[in-house]
């Protein structure tokens, strides 16, 4: 259902029809604890439009077979769907070739692939990997495992109190030992937009490779990998209004083909004997076993849907939601927003008096408001700000001012409970 808001958005913002968009997402018609659902946890997983759900249902009912292996019609159709999805992703990222697109389970899987396949074969003891203070655990732990395995050193790029990435301090960390920079595109806690283009340029000056965790970035900012000129870029489907269980690793083709397989099994091989196996080029060499066939179809449908609305239009709407929410929350006594970077997306992490974030989340859920509470898989960042956890509201293309009003009212209710 679509409900009235205090300051309802209409088509006056880039002809952005929020009501029509909300109608496309079945979950937004749900009620939660007797209230309309205000879903403000898109940073964890976005809701899915009907076109994605319908496309996946149709594929399961009418087009399902295993891919790449069958000489029969249904398998060939499924293979075409799967490879067409790869092309949709390649076009969306402006990749040079579909061979640069590897389907993974999620971003965690993609980063671990690079850490294992590239890191363990091209990095050695004493080489340095630079990450930042804002990283998700998925872009910290794989490098720690690599450090323990081969003896690399981790360098941490700092941020200021507002959550801005300190580019000058980052540059000072770079040197002849820097072999890889692994940096988030956008902080999943602070919403900070990291200057990845400048980071890539600085890293290239010392001949370092660059991996970008684009989990939050591609959803809100988009990416042109040819213009960016990083070496790897990873994102996940479930934050991009697509299904869970699928992610994407883009990599430069010559680099991918120089890397050994991460997993072994069917479809990634050329010849197997008991003495030796040889492997196919990318992307097949990194897609062992039955791949996420229908999930790829769903991801392509999500990208088509996003493209039909326009990435820039979505970004403009989300920026408006960020401004509106920041203004509303600033009126609540005792609420402190953590992270006020100069450039950020629609993510707001905050504290409210001394109420534990888990209590806040539980209480406002009783008013139909869904937010995230905890350390958000970014414990070093929590330590940086001296807090054990935060409450996080994260916005999507379907977020309305009504959602924000409902959040503000629910937070005032929670504050009242705790006196």
Which residue carries 């993974």 as its tokens? 104
Residue 253: enclosing H or E segment and its boundaries? helix 253-258
DSSP 280: P
Token digits for 309?
Answer: 């609305």
- The span from the CA of 78 to the CA of 62, in Å, is 10
Backbone angles phi, psi at 271, to 5 degrees: -135, 135
- Spatial contact of 248 and 103, defined as CB atoms under 8 Å apart: yes
The three-class DSSP label of residue 418 is coil
- Choose the catalytic residue: 32, 215, 328, 377: 377
Residue 68 region, left (φ>0) first, then alpha (ψ -120 to 50), else beta?
left
The full DSSP string for 172-196 is HH-STTEEEEEEESB-TTT-BBP-H
Output the six-digit token pair for 265.
Answer: 């099994």
Structure tokens at 212: 């970008």
**Catalytic: 32?**
no
Structure tokens at 345: 């997306």
CB count in 10 Å sphere of residue 329: 19
Nearest to 160 by CA among 350, 340, 391, 336: 340
Please, what is the Cα angle at 214 between 371 and 17, to 5 degrees? 60
Contact between 246 and 235 under an 8 Å Cβ cutoff? The reply is no
End-to-end CA distance of the chain: 34
Residues catalogued as catalytic: 377
């Amino acid at each position: 259902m679509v409900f009235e808001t205090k300051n309802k958005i209409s088509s006056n913002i880039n002809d952005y029809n929020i009501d029509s968009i909300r109608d496309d997402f079945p979950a937004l018609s749900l009620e939660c604890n007797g209230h309309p659902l205000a879903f403000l946890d898109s940073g964890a997983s976005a809701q899915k439009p009907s076109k994605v759900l319908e496309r996946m249902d149709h594929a399961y009912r009418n087009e399902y077979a295993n891919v790449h292996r069958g000489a029969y019609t249904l398998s060939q159709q499924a293979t075409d769907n799967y490879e067409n999805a790869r092309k949709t992703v390649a076009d969306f990222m402006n990749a040079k070739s579909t061979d640069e697109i590897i389907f993974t389970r999620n971003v965690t899987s993609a980063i671990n692939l690079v850490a294992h396949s590239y890191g363990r074969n091209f990095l050695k003891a004493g080489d340095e990997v630079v990450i930042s203070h804002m990283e998700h655990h998925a872009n910290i732990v794989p490098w720690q495992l690599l450090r323990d395995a081969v003896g690399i050193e981790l360098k941490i790029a700092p941020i200021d109190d507002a959550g801005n990435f300190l580019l000058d301090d980052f540059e000072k960390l770079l040197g002849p030992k820097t072999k890889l920079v692994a940096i988030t595109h956008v902080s999943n806690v602070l919403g900070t937009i990291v200057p990845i283009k400048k980071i890539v340029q600085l890293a290239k000056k010392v001949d370092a490779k660059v991996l970008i965790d684009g989990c939050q970035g591609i959803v809100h900012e988009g990416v042109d990998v040819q213009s960016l000129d990083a070496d790897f870029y990873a994102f996940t489907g479930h934050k991009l209004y697509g299904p869970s269980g699928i992610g994407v690793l883009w990599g430069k083709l010559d680099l991918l083909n120089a890397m050994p397989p991460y997993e072994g099994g069917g479809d990634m091989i050329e010849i197997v004997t008991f003495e030796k196996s040889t492997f196919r080029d990318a992307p097949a060499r990194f897609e062992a076993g039955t791949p996420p066939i229908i999930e790829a179809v769903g991801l392509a449908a999500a990208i088509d849907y996003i493209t039909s609305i326009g990435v820039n239009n979505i970004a403009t709407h989300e920026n408006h939601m960020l401004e509106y929410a920041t203004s509303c929350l600033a009126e609540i006594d005792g609420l402190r927003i953590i992270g006020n970077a100069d450039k950020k997306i629609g993510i707001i992490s905050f504290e409210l008096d001394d109420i534990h974030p888990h209590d806040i989340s539980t209480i406002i859920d009783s008013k139909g408001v869904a937010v995230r509470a905890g350390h958000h898989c970014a414990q070093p960042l929590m330590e940086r700000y001296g807090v054990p956890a935060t409450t996080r509201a994260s916005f999507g293309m379907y977020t309305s001012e009504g959602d924000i009003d409902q959040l503000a009212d629910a937070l005032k209710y929670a504050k009242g409970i705790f006196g």
